Amino acid sequence: MNQIIVLIVMAVVSFSSCSKERKAEKNDQQKMGEHGTPANWKFTLPQGNPAEGRKVFVEAECHKCHEVKGETYPTITKGKGDVGPELSQMAGMHPLEYFAESIINPNAVIDHDAKEKGYVGEDGKSKMPDYGDVLTVKQISDLAAYLASLKGEAHKGH
Ligand code: HEC
């Protein structure tokens, strides 16, 4: 008698969980047909202008912390904590969206050796400010295009 009850309970439990799964699947498919996110969708940054981006780089004083070998920017007074990676080899290193993320959310990716290099403060956070409130999407797209164009000193003039 007990065994029969156990069997019935198991059957009911497995049936109900199964039908729930099926319902969820159907909902997902319905959503896809209306306002769902296409399966291979990815965020793409608007096309930027590298020459404009260079201007933004100087205006926003990115060169306070970032050297770009082969580039000369207006002289700027550096503070003690104004350090950052040299950026002349950025071309081909990252997609545009990665550059945009480094500018609007510097803490999203921090190098494992950032502490030794002095790139992070006592709190473990990047010394780079977050520019989300300061720069427009166009400026960020232009900056990303500029960074993506930096092929290093060796390639200058070719
Ligand atoms: C106060 C110093 C400082 C300023 C100003 C600054 N950065 Fe940075 N930046 C850093 C530091 C430190 C890192 C490394 C830690 C990190 O990834 O946040 C970094 C990382 C980056 C990276 C990632 C490099 C890589 O190889 O992953 C990019 C790209 C970058 N900065 C672009 C910019 C741009 C563009 C500006 C100006 C809008 C700017 N930075 C202003 C300090 C600064």
State the pLDDT at residue 34.
74
Residue 9 has pLDDT above 90, yes or no: no
Q: Is the CB of 146 under 6 A from ligand 1?
A: no
Homologous superfamily of 42-158 in CATH? Cytochrome c-like domain (1.10.760.10)
What does pTM read for this prediction?
0.80
- Please give the number of the atom of ligand 1 that sits closest to the Cα of 111: 17
Question: For residue 146, which atom of ligand 1 is closest to its CA?
Answer: 35
Q: Give residue 124 CA to ligand 1 midpoint distance, Å.
A: 15
pLDDT tens digit string along 111-142?
899 999 999 999 999 999 999 999 999 999 99
From the CB of 131, is ligand 1 less than 6 Å away? yes
Query: Which residue in 94, 100, 67, 108 sits closest to 149, CA to CA?
Result: 94
The answer to whether the beta carbons of residues 72 and 153 sit under 8 Å apart is no
Q: Is the CB of 103 under 6 A from ligand 1?
A: yes
**Residues in CB range of 152: below 8 A, 6 or more apart:** 69, 70, 88, 89, 91
pLDDT tens profile 64-73: 999 999 999 9
Higher per-residue pLDDT: 13 or 98: 98
Distance 49 CA to ligand 1 centre (A): 19
In the chain, pLDDT over 70 holds for what percent of residues? 75
